[in-house]
């Protein structure tokens, strides 16, 4: 059984924490029986080399982000023991400094959060409603409509960018201006377009994945509630949502990280100012204009990496499942 279907990957069990959770239910018994592994000392060395190669670049950046600017400029990070020096000044500079030459990432960090949280919630709610309708409300055309939604996953989001930007310019701009007039706190260039864009791009995959899960809920449960006189709204809130929570959680984590890590959608819909642009966009700008300011770039990169890394190490089980399920998104 080689079930590598991204939509429902075999990643069972809540066993173990702090490591990638893989289908290993039979591992314990197997290790006992097949003592002789497939590998040799050479294989172990090769594995170690790969592991080091894969970790070293990130490690180098992390070490550098804590070194004084002068040291970073003149010596390699691997000489940290001969050229010691530890400082938090780089982080202070990129996050808190208000001088105009500083990247002022505090603001952009806030933007990344402000974009990612609603852009995770909105598509999840709309998609679980649609998935419920496809799975449990009988209507004509249900199956071809679902196939259409499924097929939309193959449309690269590049296909939608130009017209969508034009459409937003005509329809959304007046709304944004009005919002700014009513509540002056809210800048004219606000999060609205980028929320909507992310919601739209998330829907096909979200509907498909949640439908897979919601349609597996035993029919008797739903029917029993119906017999008791529950409406669709009640069934949806009382039965479907609680039961579908694991699937929703996996997708939520995937979508949150996808939005957090996204650059393309942000570049086109955020407007690029401090008002709405996320960290990734700011970092890209910095590599263009200050490509040699390594004391800033290293610390700035880690500011943007910290959230994904926390999610990765903290919620690994959901994370792997969600990530594999959504690996073709975009």
Partner 1 sequence: MTTADLIGKIIQVVGGIAIFAAVVGLVLFLVDRAPKRGRDFIQLLAFLAPALLLLLAGLIWPAIRTTTLAFFSRTGQWIGFDNFVWAFTQPDALRVLGNTVVWVVLVPTLSTAIGLAYAVFIDKSKGEKFFKALVFMPMAISMVGAGIIWRFVYDFKSQGREQIGLLNAIVVAFGGEPVQWLQTSPLNTLLLIVVLIWIQTGFAMVVLSASIKGIPTEQLEAAQLDGTNAWQRFRNVTLPGIRPALVVVITTISIATLKVFDIVQVMTAGNFETSVVANEMYTQAFRANEPGRGAALAVILFLLVLPIVIYNVRVLRQQREIR
Q: Which of the residues 193 through 252 are near partner 1 (CB under 8 A)? A: 195-197, 199-201, 203-204, 207, 231-234, 236-237
Q: Is 16 in the site for partner 1 (CB under 8 A)?
A: yes
Q: Is 121 in the site for partner 1 (CB under 8 A)?
A: yes
Q: Are 21 and 11 in contact (CB under 8 A)?
A: yes
CA distance linking residue 5 with residue 325, whole number of Å: 8
Which residues inside 138-167 make contact with partner 1, applying CB under 8 A? 139, 145, 149, 152-156, 158-164, 167
Which residues inside 63-92 make contact with partner 1, applying CB under 8 A? 64, 72-78
Tally of CA atoms within 13 A in the half-sphere of 293 that contains its CB: 18
Structure tokens at 195: 């929320």
Structure tokens at 227: 């017999």
Q: Are 269 and 198 in contact (CB under 8 A)?
A: no
Q: How far is the CB of 167 from partner 1 (least distance, A)?
A: 7
For partner 1, the closer of residues 243 and 264 by Cβ is 264
Closest CA to 211 of 166, 289, 145: 145
Q: Is 312 in the site for partner 1 (CB under 8 A)?
A: yes
Q: Is 101 in the site for partner 1 (CB under 8 A)?
A: no
Which residues inside 31-50 make contact with partner 1, applying CB under 8 A? 31, 33-34, 36-40, 43-44, 46-47, 50
Window of 13-21, 86-94, 217-225, 242-250 that interacts with partner 1 by CB under 8 A: 13-21
Q: How far is the CB of 253 from partner 1 (least distance, A)?
A: 10
Q: Is 185 in the site for partner 1 (CB under 8 A)?
A: yes
Q: Is 106 in the site for partner 1 (CB under 8 A)?
A: yes
Q: Are 319 and 7 in contact (CB under 8 A)?
A: no
Q: How far is the CB of 86 from partner 1 (least distance, A)?
A: 17
For partner 1, the closer of residues 29 and 220 by Cβ is 29
Among 250, 270, 295, 316, binds partner 1 (CB under 8 A): 316
Window of 86-94, 218-226, 241-249, 281-289 that interacts with partner 1 by CB under 8 A: 281-289
> How many residues can be counted in the chain?
330
Beta strand segments in 75-124, E: none
3-class SS shares of the chain: helix, strand, coil, % to 5: 70, 0, 30
CA distance linking residue 324 with residue 23, whole number of Å: 13
Place of tokens 């709304």: 175
Q: Is 280 in the site for partner 1 (CB under 8 A)?
A: yes
Structure tokens at 196: 């909507």
Closest CA to 23 of 49, 5, 47: 5
Q: How far is the CB of 220 from partner 1 (least distance, A)?
A: 21
């Amino acid at each position: 059984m080689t079930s590598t279907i991204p939509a429902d990957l075999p990643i069972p069990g809540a066993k173990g924490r702090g490591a990638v959770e893989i289908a290993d239910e039979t591992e314990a018994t197997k290790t006992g029986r097949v003592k002789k592994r497939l590998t040799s000392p050479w294989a172990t060395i090769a594995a170690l080399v790969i592991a080091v190669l894969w970790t070293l670049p990130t490690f180098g950046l992390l070490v550098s982000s804590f070194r004084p600017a002068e040291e970073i400029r003149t010596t390699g990070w691997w000489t940290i023991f001969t050229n010691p020096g530890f400082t938090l000044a780089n982080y202070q500079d990129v996050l808190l400094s208000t001088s105009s030459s500083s990247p002022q990432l505090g603001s952009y960090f806030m933007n990344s959060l402000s974009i990612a949280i609603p852009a995770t919630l909105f598509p999840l709610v709309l998609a679980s409603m649609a998935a419920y309708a496809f799975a449990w409300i009988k209507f004509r055309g249900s199956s071809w409509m679902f196939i259409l939604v499924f097929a939309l996953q193959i449309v690269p989001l590049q296909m939608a960018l130009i017209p969508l930007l034009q459409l937003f310019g005509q329809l959304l701009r007046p709304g944004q201006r009005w919002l700014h007039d009513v509540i002056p706190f809210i800048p004219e260039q606000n999060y609205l377009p980028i929320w909507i864009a992310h919601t739209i791009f998330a829907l096909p995959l979200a509907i498909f994945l949640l439908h897979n899960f919601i349609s597996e809920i035993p029919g008797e449960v739903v029917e029993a509630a119906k017999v008791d006189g529950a409406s669709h709204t009640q069934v949806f809130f009382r039965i479907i949502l609680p039961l579908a929570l694991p699937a929703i959680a996996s997708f939520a984590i995937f979508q949150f990280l996808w939005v957090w890590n996204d650059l393309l959608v942000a570049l086109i819909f955020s407007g690029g100012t401090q008002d709405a642009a996320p960290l990734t966009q700011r970092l890209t700008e910095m590599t263009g204009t200050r490509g040699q300011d390594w004391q800033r770039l290293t610390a700035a990169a880690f500011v943007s990496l910290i959230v994904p890394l926390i999610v990765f190490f903290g919620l690994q089980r959901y994370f792997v499942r969600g990530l594999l399920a959504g690996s073709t998104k975009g």
